[in-house]
Amino acid sequence: MATLKAVLFDLDGVIVDTAKHHFKAWKQLANELGFDFTEDDNERLKGVSRMDSLNILLEIGNLVKNDKEKEELAARKNERYVKSISKMDESEILPGVQAFLTELKDNNIPFALGSASKNAPIILKKIGLYDQFNAIIDGNSISNAKPDPEVFLLGAEELSVNAENCVVFEDAQSGIEAGKAAGMYVVAVGNPNILKGANDYINSMEQMSIERLS
């Protein structure tokens, strides 16, 4: 890749595993609406915004709702999700993350968050990483969800770095596509048979170092 000058991290699935909390809350909602929601179904929601996730869920249940009903359902799911993540602490930071952040700081390479989640600031505060990020771009700051590159382009802009000098870490297909569309080097955290089109693949942040990106 071009010289590494900044790093952009997705949150859910890269820094911390919140997918299990999202799954529990979506499953409860689906059950209340009269259908089941499986872990495989949940894979389709990774990296997808809250309202788009609800639309996928309703499609799975063959249900049609109006905008007002959708707002109520999304709010109900979020209330439970926020309650469920309220007990999170730094022990939930995924392996290798803190060591890599420390290596970046030691080498004066700034890093930002690029997440679809509107709950990103709460989560970062819970796990004690909020103050370590040079910029936080989340679901509250963007108008176009991943795979649109907006979230990562805003991150690069806030860090005053050109897109080609940025690395993106992502665990979702929509996020990999967003990073590529932004013109960045994308490292997928996950299975190459499921995640397509990244520049590099790791199973865990433990495998990452600045040297690997040089």
Among residues 28, 55, 78, 165, the one that binds ligand B16 under rule CB under 6 A: 78
- Extract the tokens encoding 176: 């990999």
Q: Which residues pair with 200 in a beta bridge?
A: 187
* Site map 103..142 versus ligand B16, x via CB under 6 A: ------------xxxxx-------------------x---
Judged by beta carbon distances under 5 to 8 A according to partner kind, the member of ligand B16, Mg ion, none in contact with residue 78 is: ligand B16
Contact partner, 166, from Mg ion, ligand B16, none, Cβ < 5-8 Å per class: none
Torsion of CA 212, 156, 22, 127, to 10 degrees: 70
**Considering the complex, what minimum distance in angstroms separates the CB of residue 175 from Mg ion?**
6
| Tokens encoding 5 | 């000058």
Binding-site member from 171, 173, 177, 195 for Mg ion (CB under 5 A): 171
Question: Which one, of 88, 190, 161, 188, lies nearest residue 130 by Cα?
Answer: 88
Choice from 7, 8, 13, 109 touching ligand B16 (CB under 6 A): 13
How many residues form the binding site for ligand B16 (CB under 6 A)?
20
Q: Does 10 qualify as catalytic in the annotation?
A: yes
Using alpha carbons, list the distances in angstroms from residue 82 to 38, 119, 123, 185. 21, 8, 9, 32
DSSP letter, residue 34: T
Options 12, 41, 138, 171, the catalytic residue: 12
Q: How far is the CB of 164 from ligand B16 (least distance, A)?
A: 22
Q: CA 179 to CA 182: how far, in whole Å?
A: 5
Contact between 173 and ligand B16 (CB under 6 A)?
no
Residues sharing a CB contact under 8 Å with residue 208, sequence separation 6 or more, in sequence order: 96, 100, 169, 187, 202
* Separation CA 67–CA 162 (nearest Å): 39
148 is catalytic: no
Residue 164 burial (C-beta neighbours within 10 Å; 0-12, 13-18, 19+): middle
State which of positions 32-71 bind ligand B16 (CB under 6 A).
Answer: 45-50, 53
- Chain residues that interact with ligand B16, rule: CB under 6 A: 10-13, 22, 45-50, 53, 78, 115-119, 139, 172
- The catalytic residues are 10, 12
- Chain residues that interact with Mg ion, rule: CB under 5 A: 10, 12-13, 47, 171-172
